[in-house]
Amino acid sequence: MVNVTYSGNYADVMTDDKKQKLKQIHDGLYEKTGAGSDFLGWLDWPSGLSQSFLNNIKSTAEAIRGQADVLIVIGIGGSYLGAKAVIEALQPYFDKNPDFEVLFAGHQVSGAYLKELMAYVDDREVALNVISKSGTTTEPALAFRFLQKYMKERYGNEAAERIYVTTDEEKGALLTLAKEKGYKRFVVPDDVGGRYSVFTAVGLLPIAAAGFNVEGLVEGARAAENELKAFDAEDNAAIRYAAIRHDLYEQGYTNEVLATFEPKLSFVQEWWKQLFGESEGKEHKGILPLSVVYTTDLHSLGQYIQDGKRDLMESFLIVDEADEDLEVFEAENNADQLNYLSGLSLHDFNLVAYKGVSEAHLSGGVPQIGIHVSKLDEYNLGYLLYFYMLSCAYSAYLLDINPFNQPGVEDYKTAIFKLLKKPGY
Ligand code: PA5
C-alpha cells in the first residue's frame, strides 16, 4: 500500500466543496463519463488481465532470453518510461556479467548513441522490441530504420524471428511493416494512452524479458485498483495526494519537486514527470513536475529549494525498508570523526536525513507531502505506479483538464516537420 502524509492540516484541504468536487470526479471516472473517458482502459486493466495474456508475455520473454543476450527496446515517452522505471528500480546497481540486458533506443535522436549501441551488442545475440502506439513517432521510427537494417545484415531472414512489435491493433505504419515482415505482435489497447500503459504489453514484455516478476507487478496494481476504488476523502491515498497538491497549487505553489533518497527510483521520477506533466500541463494550467535525488541534490538544487523563489511544494517518495544495507562501524582512531554514527545503517541515515531535510525545507516555506512505500519490489512498484496514475487523473480533473490527451506535443512536431519539408507539411 501507499501512505500519504502532509505537513499541513488535511482538514483544511478537504473542505466540503473539495469533497463534493472529488466525489463528482470519482463518479465520472468510474462511470466513464468525464472528459477523455475513451482513454480509461487503464482504470480496470489490472483486474481484467487474463492469465493467458500474462502467460503469453512470460513465454515470449523466455523465448527472447533463449535467443538473445540483449533486448533493445525502441520507444519514447510512455512507450519506454514505464519499463525503464521498473527495470532501473529492481536491477542491481552493478552487474559485471549480466546474463541478460535490456537496453533502450529511439528515446532521443543521436547518431553516436546508435553507432555505439550497435558496436556494444555486436558480439552478443540481439532481439528488438519496437513499441509505438501510433506507429508513426519519428524518434523510434528512425532508430528502428537503423536497427532493423542492422538485424537484417546480422541475421538475414532469421531477423524476423528476433523482432517483436508492440503497436495499435488496426492502424499505423509500424503495424503495416510488422504484418508485411511477419514480426510477432503485441497490442497497445485503443483506450490506454502511452503514459498509462505500463501494465500492458508496452511495459510488461520488456520487464519480463529483464527477468522480473510481472505477476507480482500486476498483483500490486490489482491491489491498488481494488483498494483505491472506493470514494474515501480521508483515507484513499490517490484522492489525498491529488487533493493536497491541488490545494497547494491554489495557494500559489505551482511547482512540485519529487524527492527521493533511493537512486534506483530516478526513472520512476522520470515516469512520474511525464505522467503528470503531459496529463496536467494544458490550457496554461498545471503543476510543473520536477525531481531531485537526495542526498546528491542537497549539494546542488537543495540551496534553491531551501531559499529560492517560494512557489515550490516538495513530495518525498520514501521506501521504508531497505533490502541491502551497511551499518557504520566503530573505527579505532576515529580520524574521520564519524564514530558518533556507529551502529546506524546507511538506510537509517537516509531516514534521519529525510526528517531533517523535510523540517528544514518546511521552515524555509516549502510545504511537504510524504509518499511511503514499504519496500522496493515488484508488488510495491505495481501498487505505486497505479496509485500515481489514478491520482494524476483526479489531479487533472480538479483543474478541469482532460488528463488523457496531449494536444501541446503536436505543435513542436509540426514546426520540425515544416523545417524538414516532410510531405504534407
Ligand atoms: O503518453 C503519451 O501518450 C506519449 O508520451 C507517447 O507515449 C509518446 O509520444 C510515444 O508515442 P507512440 O507510442 O505513439 O510512439
pLDDT tens-digit profile, the chain (425 residues): 999 999 999 999 999 999 999 999 999 999 999 999 999 999 999 999 999 999 999 999 999 999 999 999 999 999 999 999 999 999 999 999 898 999 999 999 999 999 999 999 999 999 999 999 999 999 999 999 999 999 999 999 999 999 999 999 999 999 999 999 999 999 999 999 999 999 999 999 999 999 999 999 999 999 999 999 999 999 999 999 999 999 999 999 999 999 999 999 999 999 999 999 999 999 999 999 999 999 999 999 999 999 999 999 999 999 999 989 999 999 999 999 999 999 999 999 999 999 999 999 999 999 999 999 999 999 999 999 999 999 999 999 999 999 999 888 888 888 888 998 988 88
CA–CA separation, 197 and 189 (whole Å)? 9
Q: Is the CB of 167 under 6 A from ligand 1?
A: no
Amino acid 92: pLDDT: 95
- Known catalytic residue: 282? no
CA–CA separation, 65 and 101 (whole Å)? 9
16 Cα–ligand 1 center, Å: 37
Amino acid 424: pLDDT: 87
172 Cα–ligand 1 center, Å: 13
Q: How far is CA 323 from CA 95, 141, 157, 377, in A?
A: 17, 39, 45, 9
Q: Is the CB of 405 under 6 A from ligand 1?
A: no
CA–CA separation, 118 and 369 (whole Å)? 43
Which residues touch 78 (CB under 8 Å, ≥6 apart)? 133, 193, 194, 195, 196, 197, 202, 274, 278
Q: Is the ipTM of this complex over 0.85?
A: yes
Q: Which atom of ligand 1 is nearest to the CA of 195?
A: 1
- Known catalytic residue: 278? yes
Residue by residue, DSSP assigns 6-17 as ESS-HHHHS-HH
Q: How far is CA 365 from CA 7, 27, 82, 347, in A?
A: 11, 35, 33, 27
Amino acid 45: pLDDT: 97
Catalytic residue among 88, 270, 278, 280: 278
Q: How far is CA 300 from CA 48, 87, 314, 369, in A?
A: 44, 27, 16, 21
Amino acid 104: pLDDT: 98
Compute and round to an integer the Cα radius of gyration of the chain: 23
77 Cα–ligand 1 center, Å: 5
Span between the terminal Cα atoms of the chain, in Å? 48
Beta bridge partners of 317: 260, 371
For the chain, which domains are there? 2-34+219-398 (3.40.50.10490), 45-212 (3.40.50.10490)
Amino acid 410: pLDDT: 81
Catalytic residue among 23, 413, 418, 422: 413
